[in-house]
Amino acid sequence: MNPLIPLFVIIPLAGAFLIMIIGRFIEEFNKYFTSLVLLLLTCISFYFLFTTGEKIFVYKVGGWEPINSLPIGIYMVMDGFSVIVVCIINLIGFLSAFYSISYIKRYTAGNYFYALFCLLIGGMNGVVLSGDLFNIFVFLEISVISSYALVAFGVESNELEASFKYQILGGLASFLILFGIGFIYWKTKTLNIADIKASFSSGYNKTTYLFIQILILSGFGLKAAIIPFHAWLPDAHSSAPSPISAMLSGVFIKAVGIYVIIRLFFNMFAISEGMAVLITALGTVSMVIGVFLAIGQWDIKRLLAYHSISQMGYVVMSVGIGMILVSRGTKPEIASLAIAGGLFHLVNHAAFKGLLFLNAGAIEYTIGTRNLKEMGGLAKSMPVTSATSFIASMSISGVPPFNGFFSKLIIIIAAVMAKFYLLAALAVIVSIITLASFLKFQRYAFFNRSNNSKNHNIREVPFPMVFSMVVLSIICVLLSLLVIPEIRDAILTPAINILTDPVKYSTSILVQ
């Protein structure tokens, strides 16, 4: 048992409550403490990224060993797939926390902000590392409830409205998830994911099984904002403070939505072709509709939020193609390629969407508006913001040599090789429309002539914000290296192997 695994949950939780106590007496404590804590967690997560490989670490909380090879305690599992998501969570979390050092001056009550931020991180780490369904639900609620509060942090009418909408739909999602978990417990008498897999493999009632799958898919689909369930996302992500928008859009919908869907549908349920086709269809629909909803927006953060839906559609579609091929049992190398494209795009999206929201926050910080029509000419006065947002825009639109190009290329190649020509064509078209909408963003925000007389004395944002944006843009460029086979083998291939092998996850956890 690796004793470092529970630290991902303990440290943020303890940090949140320490901030509430010490932050009352020492001013500025909250800012630097949160950044330090998250920097430490980032280091630990990268240590795991380079050491995990094909291994699966299991941590039994409280030291409860299995009895008659049936797991009875809480399991925390770290494998090739969860380590990637943990790295994203803590890295983007660190950069957002560092960015907030200056940004939070717009708001009062910094202690509450940072305490909720730590709870958000702790909850997401818990969701990703948890090995049983009920703890996934508990940690999901920790992170989701703190995100409700963070979305409403500005306490103005539109923010409260967005948070209210988010709470209602989020509550519905939690209900569906809990209902599904209840059904699973009723049928299998266990909550451990590996044990559920083993229990289902000895036979199940088809109707109940399908009902459980639909409940779980719609519950986590609501959290992931796949298209028929997306109504809360544009409001919630655009009303939150910008570092929180970066966390929610860049990390949150992946960690509590996409990650859990992929994990449960590959490693817990037996993959069926019908379900795989449904997931692919949902992904394609959100990819196409998301971008059409995005291109008409004039509010920067709403535009970015709709693009999150569209880009998540790429991930879900690509993983869905992989799932169809795995369920057919043919062409395993193309299935691996499709899943690799999906995971690669998931990592890339965290980098560039986080960066874009931080850019939007920088613009809002200096000129105090999010409306594209009121901006213009910022390229001269804010060179760093302009340059980093250009890199991010080109990445998300899939222009070489930035990271988005390679992941979209892999997705399209995989779709063509699997003979899904329509999906490949749609992916290309959506990518072009994405490019158009980001050219609009670049032109109106940075290169247009300024039509606002008060824009004369604007300056570049303070150092912490610049630092976070520059680091993220460097990451955007460096992530292209994941396309090189050696690096991909070290980082992405373990994750793909654990997803495509139907029994590896469950058997290797149960024997430990």
Which residues partner with 371 through β-bridges? Answer: 299
- Kindly state the smallest distance separating residue 291's Cβ from other proteins, in Å: 43
Stretch binding other proteins (CB under 8 A), from 57-65, 313-321, 348-356, 476-484: 57-65
Beta bridge partners of 132: 192
Q: Least separation, in Å, of the C-beta of 54 and other proteins?
A: 24
Nearest by Cα to 73 from 125, 132, 3: 132
Residue with tokens 């799958």: 213
CA distance 99 to 481: 26
Nearer Cβ to other proteins, position 61 or 231? Answer: 61
Give 3 or 485: the residue with its C-beta nearer to other proteins. 3
- For the bound state, the minimum distance from the C-beta of residue 129 to other proteins, rounded and expressed in Å, comes to 12
Q: Cβ 279 to other proteins, closest distance in Å?
A: 35
Q: What angle do CA 348, 262, 189 make, to 5 degrees?
A: 150
Please list every residue from 391 through 450 that binds other proteins, using CB under 8 A: none
Tell me, residue by residue from 11 to 50, as one string, x for binding to other proteins by CB under 8 A and - for no binding.
--xx--xx-xx--x--------------------------
From first CA to last CA, the distance across the chain in angstroms is 9
Determine if 109 is a binding residue for other proteins (CB under 8 A): no
> Is the torsion defined by CA of 344, 345, 348, 350 positive or negative?
negative
CB of residue 480 to other proteins, shortest distance in Å: 38
Backbone angles phi, psi at 68, to 5 degrees: 50, 40
Q: Which of 39, 61, 281, 285 binds other proteins (CB under 8 A)?
A: 61
Q: Rounded to whole angstroms, how far apart are CA atoms 304 and 283?
A: 18
Helix (H) or strand (E) holding 98: helix 80-103
**Could you say whether residue 66 binds other proteins (CB under 8 A)?**
no
- Residue 164 or 447 with smaller CB distance to other proteins: 164
Smaller CB separation from other proteins, 6 or 182 = 6
Nearer to other proteins, 14 or 399 (CB): 14
Binding region for other proteins (CB under 8 A) out of 7-15, 210-218, 394-402, 501-509:
7-15
Of the candidates 58, 160, 82, 107, which has an alpha carbon nearest to the alpha carbon of residue 494?
82
Is position 138 an interface residue for other proteins (rule: CB under 8 A)?
Answer: no
- The yes or no reply on residue 65 touching other proteins (CB under 8 A) is no
Report the C-alpha gap between 301 and 345 in whole angstroms.
21
DSSP summary character for residue 296: T
478 is an interface residue for other proteins by CB under 8 A = no
Site size for other proteins (CB under 8 A): 16
Q: For tokens 């795995």, what's the residue?
A: 326
> Is there binding between residue 463 and other proteins (CB under 8 A)?
no
Contact call for residue 10 and other proteins (CB under 8 A): yes
Question: How far is 107 from 179, CA to CA, in rounded Å?
Answer: 38
Tokens 């009723």, located at residue: 186
Specify the DSSP element, H or E, that contains 176: helix 157-188
Q: Please, what is the minimum distance in Å from the beta carbon of residue 226 to other proteins? A: 34
Nearer to other proteins, 20 or 399 (CB): 20
Residues whose CB falls within 8 Å of the CB of residue 273, separated by 6 or more in sequence, listed in order: 324, 327, 328
Q: What's the Cα-to-Cα distance from 16 to each of 20, 111, 256, rounded to whole Å?
A: 7, 9, 20
Stretches 60-68, 222-230, 394-402, 492-500: which one binds other proteins (CB under 8 A)?
A: 60-68
What residues pair up with 77 in beta bridges, in sequence order? Answer: 58
Q: Does 60 bind other proteins (CB under 8 A)?
A: yes
* 1 sits near other proteins (criterion: CB under 8 A): yes
Residues that bind other proteins (CB under 8 A): 1, 3, 6, 10, 13-14, 17-18, 20-21, 24, 59-63
